[in-house]
């Protein structure tokens, strides 16, 4: 049994045990994201699971938890065939608009694991909400490799991938490549994803247990990210 099947079984088990008691919309303070002046970023994520596609909708506020201005982003995971494919959508009042930034910089393979600040004072998470996030993260892990599905519904000024040259430079660090490879449990990482890599490695979220970065891995990763 491979690791993808294990995640799928755990997700199904938690869904069965939780039933309707596990909320499908959660407000939380992001552990990763900050505003340009270092303030908190708040997200509301909602998930609709379907037989052929899962729809992840996220509202995001850079102006506090009580703001009336929230960006809306949607990632649709298309499950008709393996590997799954993800399309990325920026919305305003339910209508598709131009991307504000390149989605691929943070989302190399569909939705990312949800990482809330569990110590948030403004967006406390009940046990129910924490279990929902755990369930979501198991579902995301169960997808395996997720490839990009084009979304050309409108003419865009900002493309999904803004730096094709960086996109073509794939990460080849041993510890990372155990999961991030074509046909593997997670999508390939590229030079375009370096900002996300830096945060996750610095905060020891990556590589996940039981993997560790060797001295050579650290040297190779530093060279890949910084060029030296």
Please state whether beta strands 40-49 and 25-34 pair in parallel, antiparallel, or not at all (unpaired).
antiparallel
* Strand pairing class (146-148; 71-78): unpaired
The pTM assigned to this predicted structure is 0.88
Q: What does pLDDT average to over the chain?
A: 90
* Cα atoms found within 13 Å of the Cα of residue 44, Cβ hemisphere only: 11
Q: How confident is the model at residue 211 (pLDDT cuts 50, 70, 90)?
A: confident
Read off φ and ψ for residue 98, nearest 5 degrees.
-65, 150
- Between 158 and 5, the more confident residue is 5
- Neighbouring CB atoms inside 10 A of 109's CB total 25
The residues, ordered by sequence, that sit 6+ positions from 181 with a Cβ below 8 Å of its Cβ are: 188
Determine the pLDDT at residue 15.
84
Domain spans in the chain, listed from the N-terminal domain onward? 3-161, 163-227
CB 151 within 8 A of CB 87: yes
Sorted by sequence, the CB contacts under 8 Å of residue 225 that are 6+ apart come out as 194, 197, 198
Alpha-helical (H) ranges within the chain are 3-18, 127-142, 164-167, 174-177, 194-202, 215-226
Judge whether residue 55 has pLDDT over 90.
yes
**How much of the chain, in percent, has pLDDT values that exceed 70?**
96
Angle (CA) 60 167 82, round 5°: 75
Residue 19 pLDDT level (bands cut at 50, 70, 90): low
**Per the structure block, which two tokens stand in for 167?**
């996109």
Calculate mean pLDDT across residues 58-74: 95
The whole-number pLDDT of residue 106 equals 87
Read off the pLDDT band of 150 (50, 70, 90): confident
- pLDDT band for position 152 (cuts 50, 70, 90): confident
Residue 65 has pLDDT above 80, yes or no: yes
Structure confidence at residue 113 as a pLDDT band (50, 70, 90): very high
Q: List the beta strands (DSSP E) in the chain.
A: 25-34, 40-49, 53-61, 71-78, 84-92, 95-97, 146-148
pLDDT at 40 over 90: yes
Residue 36 confidence (pLDDT) above 90: no
What integer pLDDT is reported at residue 135 of this predicted model?
Answer: 93
């Amino acid at each position: 049994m491979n690791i993808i099947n294990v995640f799928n079984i755990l997700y199904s088990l938690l869904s069965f045990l939780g039933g309707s008691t596990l909320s499908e919309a959660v407000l939380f303070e992001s552990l990763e994201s900050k505003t340009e002046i270092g303030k908190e970023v708040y997200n509301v994520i909602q998930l609709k699971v379907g037989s052929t596609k899962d729809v992840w909708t996220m509202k995001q506020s850079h102006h506090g938890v009580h703001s009336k201005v929230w960006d809306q982003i949607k990632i649709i995971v298309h499950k008709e065939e393996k590997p799954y494919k993800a399309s990325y959508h920026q919305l305003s009042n339910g209508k598709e608009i131009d991307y504000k930034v390149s989605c691929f910089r943070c989302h190399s393979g569909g939705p990312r694991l949800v990482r809330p600040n569990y110590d948030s004072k403004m967006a406390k998470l009940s046990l129910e909400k924490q279990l929902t996030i755990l369930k979501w993260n198991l579902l995301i892990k169960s997808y395996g490799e997720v490839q990009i599905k084009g979304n050309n519904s409108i003419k865009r000024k900002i493309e999904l991938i803004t730096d094709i040259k960086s996109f073509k430079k794939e990460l080849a660090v041993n510890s990372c490549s155990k999961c991030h490879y074509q046909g593997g449990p997670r999508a390939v990482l590229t030079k375009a994803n370096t900002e996300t890599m830096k945060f996750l490695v610095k905060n020891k979220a990556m590589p996940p247990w039981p993997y560790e970065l060797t001295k050579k891995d650290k040297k190779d990763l530093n060279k890949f990210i910084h060029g030296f």
